[in-house]
Chains A and B, each alone.
Chain A
């Protein structure tokens, strides 16, 4: 089955700096890669996703890049703010079916 690895497990940045989280996946048939943000005690919330026919996607301060050849994808947060502090999860799945495999998460702390 699919295996998703996520690095780093914790990330501390100064407010205004950029944060980058990287994920690798094992199943070459995976073609959907969402990113979720989870605040303490809350549900995971989708913040951005990318499909395999796209190499990069941007939404304001958040961007995701995908390298299908190398089987890795990354989340980039620019101009970080204290409210960006949370745990971020990457995930991967195939088009058909419902099996979404998650990475282990990255705890991001933005220091004011």
Chain B
């Protein structure tokens, strides 16, 4: 049981490049989310999903796309990378049943945009 797995762990991009951050969970969780964490700050919600085929915007969605074709995977796409998107990105998942369930976080992806 690996939990929430994020790849890559580190990435450097040039301005204007696109890339996909991968997130997979093996806990059969319905809810998945992407957060970004800037230095010295809390986590801000980018996009989230309450199940396969359903996604919605969070607090800071601009410049990012997501899709949820399976329960296990929730990739985050940067369409045209900008220096302002330099951050640590965390994926999280949680079960939807039994009342409020705790979020399980991946190890994060450290992304630098030059």
Contact = CB atoms under 8 A, between A and B. Distances in A.
A112 interface: no
Contacts, number: 55
Contacts of B42: 6, 89, 102-105
Give the bracket for the number of chain A residues in contact with chain B.
Answer: 20 to 34
Contact of B44 (A31, A46, A98, A102): A102
Nearest to A46: B102
Task: Specify the main secondary structure of chain A where it touches its partner.
Answer: loop
A111 interface: no
Interface string B81-114: 0000000001010101001101101111000000
A60 B43 CA distance: 27
Contacts of A105: 40-42
B102 A49 contact: yes
B33 A100 contact: yes
A99 interface: yes
Interface of B: 31-33, 35, 40-45, 48-50, 58-59, 90, 92, 94, 96, 99-100, 102-103, 105-108
